Chain A
Amino acid sequence: MKRRDLLKGFVTVPVLGAFAYAWYKKRSYERYLKKNILEEIQLKATAPDIPASGPMDKQIRLGLIGYGLRGKHLAQAAGFAHPELIDSWIKNGFENGSDNRYKEYLEQEDLNLVLNGVCDIFDTYGRMAREAGANIYREGSGGKMGPSPKRYKNYQDLINAKDIDAVIIATPDHWHGPMAIAAANAGKHVYVEKPMTWSVEETYKIRKAVKENNIVFQLGHQGRQTESYFKAKEAIDKGLLGKITLIEVTTNRNDPNGAWVYPIHEDANPNTIDWKQFIGQAPDHPFSLERFFRWRCWWDYSTGLSGDLLTHEFDAINQILGLGIPHAAISSGGIYYFKDGRTVPDVLHTVYEYPDRDLSMVYSATLASNRKRGRVIMGHDASMELGRDLIIKADPRSSRYEAKIKEGIIDPALPLFSYSPGMQNVDAITSPTEQYFAGRGLLYTYRGGKRFDPTHLHIKEWLNCIRNGGTTSCNIKQGFEEAMAAHMGTIAYKENRKVFWDAENEKII
């Protein structure tokens, strides 16, 4: 072979050398940045430690009170999806290949439960709850079913039934307290939807009943299971944000459903609804389909934005920072958009003061604008934005990071740390495209962790404590704090004054 041939055949090989060199330079610069940032923040690049569950050998006999919007979801999360819901998942799965809800439901862990009793005061929902309870093989309409649970027309009878160990309560707010208290006094374990109570008085009573009867109590803030909150707590405990003085949490909804204007069921009428039982401790009112299905719009049955949506935000922050009941609260707002006869505001702002922690928490809500405002914890050195993902950005005026910002190692415009649940590794630096996907929820976790329904995990945790002991993550102490904080916000709004918490006497003044 001629020398000329060899030369022409291999003349481009040095390009690979140049490529390798450029590759090496780029990678080592990235490694240098990453190493320096990780050294600074000392936050492990792994998923947070979440305690594992114990054995599930013992079958738990469940009762479900309330099979409305939330009750249906809770039943599904416990393993009792209605056959028609499964029909719709299968249909959607056929039409849209990426709709995996049925597959995911089949993969949802069996919690070793039997649903022995259901209670709903609307006949159609009562029948549907029975059908869901019988669907132990997770099939669609016409599939193989198990025995149907008994339907109780009165919650007292369900609570006192001998074949029920634990109850899930998913009723309107004004029934949470009385039912949870009755269930605790009957020795039944309780999972109750948030907010814990409708009135201040009930809050003391429910705590007393839970403690005296020594039952396992879980308040339905399924956000407690959000993986990124665990990581957020880790980051804050490590002091990455510096001194925190302001927390901003928001609700941004803009559709009738988000404003609690739910559809009215065609079967509903005074003959199919036990209106008297619905009223309960609320002021008497003539039969009203609007009030039955859209009860969140009236103080008579609801706790408004404070109880329905502020509590989620409050509980998330309480989980991460352990703030407890605020020292003071002020609120303002009004009914500015949904002038449909409702009594609860559709725009609300509540400010909580924590002088002993040197910080304020601001809650701001509107039901008539979808502009995303997020949930932000602001410290002197960095701020944290918390959603499904967690993003920490250094503050340009931070003292702690000043040197590294000057050296160009930390760029305040880019995340100092970000965490997307389910990703295998946590990178101090992630590409903008990855962030973009993650933020839009497009980044499915096919490789790393599996996707889970947090409500399912929250119920599972409650059952685990019933079987194996231990404390639930949203137990009566956190519930008491949640309820009192929400009531303070509501009272401040209704009475248009600054409200204080007298910690010594445990009273709102």
Chain B
Amino acid sequence: MMKYSNTQLSWLVILRIAIGWHFLYEGMVKLMNPNWSSVGFLLDSNGLLKSFFYSLASDSSLVYIIDMINIWGLILIGLGLILGFLARPACIFGIILLSMYYLSHPPFPGLRYAVPSEGSYLIINKTLIELLALVMLFVFPNSRFIGVDRFIFKK
């Protein structure tokens, strides 16, 4: 198993908590808003996978499932990261969700979106950076040192 200095470990855990906090809040906001639906976001898709995301939006029962996956996925991933509880699976599911968000709205030249973006992006955006940060957390696991996983994955 990897060995970290205290400084390295602290900053890895802080990064994990920050991403977890963000996921948890995004999930809670959607949970508490009865009007929230993924449809608007899906229908704003562009790029190579546009038709795939459009087809998801066209079926209302499918939209319901996607909404539930988003809401509870975000909340559970957020809790997992903050508590360090099954943090590595949480990283994987987080990467999958973020890659969906990224691929539906890739900031490539020539693609435009109705969703206003708060910054300036070319190919790399904050979604992708958050995704890469989760990859780093996966590659440098830390919940077995600091987190509930300490009890689950005993040496």
Contacts and interface: CB of A to CB of B under 8 A. Distances in A.
A interacts with B? yes
Interface of A: 1, 5, 8-13, 15-16, 19, 23, 27, 96-98, 100, 423-425, 427, 432-434, 436-437, 440, 442-444, 446-448
Contact of B146 (A12, A16, A443): A12
B84 A12 contact: yes
Given A12-B83, A13-B83, A442-B44, A97 B35 contact: no
A436 B114 contact: yes
A442 B42 CA distance: 10
A10 B148 contact: yes
Interface residues of B, number: 35
B12 to A, nearest CB: 12
5 contacts: A1-B151, A5-B150, A15-B82, A19-B25, A444-B40
Interface of B: 13, 17, 20-21, 24-25, 28, 32, 34-35, 37, 39-40, 43-44, 51, 54-55, 57-58, 60, 63, 79, 82-84, 114-116, 145-148, 150-151
A425 B34 contact: yes
Contacts of B40: 433-434, 437, 442-444
Contacts of A425: 34-35
Given A9-B147, A97-B58, A19 B43 contact: no
Question: Could you tell me the dominant secondary structure of chain A's interface residues?
Answer: loop
Given A23-B28, A97-B51, A12 B114 contact: no
A100 B151 CA distance: 52
Contacts of B55: 97-98
Given A5-B150, A23-B28, A98-B43, A437 B114 contact: yes
A8 B144 CA distance: 9
Given A12-B147, A433-B116, A442-B43, A447 B37 contact: yes
A148 to B, nearest CB: 34
Nearest to B20: A15
Contact of B151 (A9, A15, A423): A9
Contacts of A432: 116
Nearest to A5: B150
Contacts of A96: 54
B34 A97 contact: no
B93 to A, nearest CB: 19
Given A15-B17, A96-B54, A100-B58, 20 more contacts: A1-B151, A5-B150, A9-B147, A15-B21, A16-B79, A23-B28, A97-B55, A98-B43, A98-B54, A424-B34, A425-B34, A427-B35, A442-B43, A442-B114, A443-B40, A444-B39, A444-B43, A446-B39, A446-B60, A447-B35
Which of A5, A98, A436, A446 is packed against the most chain B CB atoms within 10 Å? A98
A16 B84 CA distance: 12
Contact of B54 (A97, A433, A443): A97
Nearest to A423: B35
A436 B35 contact: no
B52 to A, nearest CB: 9
A423 B40 CA distance: 13
A12 B54 contact: no
Nearest to A11: B146
Contacts of B58: 97-98, 100
Contact of A8 (B32, B34, B39, B150): B150
A12 B17 contact: yes
Contacts of A13: 83
B115 A446 contact: no
Contacts of B35: 423-425, 427, 434, 447-448
Task: Sort A-B residue pairs by CB-CB distance and give the 10 closest, nearest first.
Answer: A97-B55, A97-B58, A437-B40, A9-B150, A98-B58, A98-B54, A446-B60, A15-B82, A97-B54, A442-B40
Contacts of B114: 436-437, 440, 442
B97 to A, nearest CB: 18
Given A442-B40, A446-B63, A8 B146 contact: yes
A440 B44 CA distance: 11
Nearest to B116: A436
Contacts of A427: 35
A97 B58 CA distance: 6
A374 to B, nearest CB: 18
A74 B145 CA distance: 70
A396 B1 CA distance: 63
Contacts of B147: 8-9, 12
A434 B41 CA distance: 10
B61 to A, nearest CB: 10
B128 to A, nearest CB: 20
A446 B25 contact: no
B60 to A, nearest CB: 5
Contacts of B20: 15
A437 B57 CA distance: 15
Which of A23, A440, A444 is packed against the most chain B CB atoms within 10 Å? A444
A215 to B, nearest CB: 41
